[in-house]
Amino acid sequence: MTDTRLLIQQANFNVGEQYEWLAQCHDGGAVVTFTGKVRNYNLGDSN
């Protein structure tokens, strides 16, 4: 297993596969995921 992974992409990916990879890394204390929209109030998108 690689110690570091950095992916920047527009294509869809399998969150479960990423979670499993993270769960196998023993360097960190927790695995946290976020799914949702991050709002940028500076652009006026506050809905």
Q: Supply the pTM of this predicted model.
A: 0.48
Instruction: Write the pLDDT tens digit of every residue in 1-47.
Output: 556 777 888 999 888 888 888 888 777 677 777 777 777 777 665 55
pLDDT at 28: 67
Domain boundaries along the sequence of the chain: 1-37
pLDDT at 11: 92
pLDDT at 44: 60
Say which residue the tokens 């976020």 belong to: 34
* 27 touches 3 (CB < 8 A): yes
Task: Tell me how far apart the alpha carbons of residues 32 and 30 are, in angstroms, rounded to a whole number.
Answer: 6
